[in-house]
Chains A and B, each alone.
Chain A
Amino acid sequence: MSTRILAFDRMGTVLGESLAAGWRERGGCVLDASAGGGLACALAGAAPHGVVLTEPCLDESAFVGKALAAPDAAAEFAAELHRQTMAFLADCRAAIRAMMPAGRGYVLALCIDDFAAGILELPQTPIANQARAAALKSMAKEYGRMGLGFTMFVCQPPREMVERSAWRTHREQLKVYALRYRPVGVGGYARFILSMLDGDPTANGSVLCLGNGVMEMTA
């Protein structure tokens, strides 16, 4: 049996690295498209088991903050949004085209729920998150019947994403009514997400919100 390939649009993100490590532990092979040329090049001739589109990293709130003081920032942000959305769609298209011939495969899109971004000083990505969710739901409706699965994971900020002390410092702010926020480690997210790659798609077109303690916003 050939080694199963899990392709990544890029490495270096917290969740992406953890998934790659988890996949290798399972005996799978990792293909990193960030090395050059993007997913379309990396997937040429490959038949991946799945493709992971890692979490968006453009801090949208930073641009919004700048836009009031510097009008050029608005156009700069809009152009960057365009670039980012086009890149995401191009990666999705490359993944679909690579997996269609086999009639099976998964596109797993990751994002970090930014409910606590303002508190923890993390990037806020509501535009990218919602754009990706809507695109993946559409792709599932279009290509699910061909055996392809599309699932988006909205993960609450993992434990490793900020300094350990920050969780203590902001404990009260992160509490929702009586429910205390308990950060999940990246390993926990990776185990759950990789389990979706076993068998037939069971959450096709779904946006799954992972974490403990706070309701998600992207769904």
Chain B
Amino acid sequence: MNTANIVLITGATRGIGRAITQRFARAGCRLALVYRADESAAREVRDLLADARIEAEMIRADLGDLQACRTVIARVVARYGGLDVLINNAGGTHDGAFAAMPPASYAGLVRGNLAAPVALALHAAPWLIDSARAGRGGAVVMMASMAGVAGKEGQVPYAATKGGLIGAARLVARHFGPRGVRANALAPGFIRTGMVEALDPAMYEHVLGASASPRMGDPDEVAEAVWFLASGASSYCNGTVQRVDGGFLR
């Protein structure tokens, strides 16, 4: 991937997404950053990028509204004239005992975690194909999860969405790979973000005890893996899933 590439990152202002934003900003990419509602975090990121003279389009959008996916891609193209890399990072959780969980309670999760990234990838596909043809990139990274690889109790709908993203990477790779587009999924394990800070001590000990690298991961370590999958360094990776989990064994 060249610097000055046009990179769209969803869920870009917090947690892992923020680390990804910073990684691509350091490389001098032109950024389109989607956030849902946290104006304060968005302002903070925008100011940081402005100080570093990084070009960024901040896009507030609720990707749970599938029509918004089309609008987001249109805004990126209107601003930059194309798109080289799509990083589908945004996602949420909805934990609990599955049998007691009314379907309506996780409908939004399924829409935002699975349907929206797929819609974004398909809307972006023509631009990614153009990018690949021009030798600029044409890459998609789907932020899955270890729950999508190995399953996780208390997270049935979440795991389904993340597993689906792994399948989506394969689907996009299979279809657009012959035209130079690459799509891969990333499966982080336990990463030090707000999402896992609520873990109880017993769970924390379980994670450490079950990992080849007995510690929590850092968002920057995930961001490096995203960079790898988006860049030419992974030019022969397509339709695969990369685990970033410290060798979690259970």
Contacts and interface: CB of A to CB of B under 8 A. Distances in A.
A96 B67 CA distance: 34
A82 B99 contact: no
B161 A85 contact: yes
B18 interface: no
A29 interface: no
A118 to B, nearest CB: 8
Contacts of B162: 134
A77 interface: yes
A217 B163 CA distance: 13
Contacts of A65: 175
Contacts of B166: 130, 134
B4 interface: no
Nearest to A88: B160
A170 interface: no
Taking each of A78, A93, A124, A132, which has the highest tally of chain B beta carbons within 10 Å of its own beta carbon? Answer: A78
A135 B99 contact: no
Interface string B139-151: 0000000011111
B167 A131 contact: yes
A218 to B, nearest CB: 8
A105 to B, nearest CB: 12
B122 A92 contact: no
B110 interface: yes
Interface string A22-66: 000000000000000000000000000000000000001101110
A139 interface: yes
Interface residues of A, number: 50
Interface string B67-111: 101100000000000000000000000000111010100110011
B98 A96 contact: yes
A138 B99 contact: no
B113 to A, nearest CB: 10
B45 interface: no
B156 A139 contact: yes
Interface stretch (A4-12, A68-76, A175-183): A68-76
Interface stretch (A13-21, A140-148, A160-168, A191-199): A140-148
Contacts of A141: 151-153
A127 B153 contact: no
Contact of A78 (B101, B118, B149, B160): B118
Contact of B103 (A90, A131, A142): A90
B226 interface: no
A217 B239 CA distance: 11
Given A65-B175, A138-B147, A86 B107 contact: yes
Nearest to A118: B174
A89 interface: yes
Nearest to A127: B167
Contacts of A205: 151
B159 A134 contact: yes
B154 interface: yes
Contacts of A75: 66-67, 69-70, 119
Contacts of A171: none
B119 A127 contact: no
A97 B151 contact: no
Contacts of B98: 92-93, 96, 138-139, 142-143
Q: Considering the complex of A and B, which 6 residue pairs feature the smallest CB-CB distances, nearest first?
A: A137-B151, A134-B163, A130-B167, A131-B164, A74-B122, A78-B119
23 contacts: A75-B66, A78-B116, A78-B119, A79-B66, A81-B114, A82-B110, A86-B103, A88-B160, A125-B167, A130-B165, A131-B114, A132-B160, A133-B163, A134-B148, A135-B159, A135-B160, A135-B163, A138-B151, A138-B152, A138-B155, A138-B160, A139-B156, A142-B154
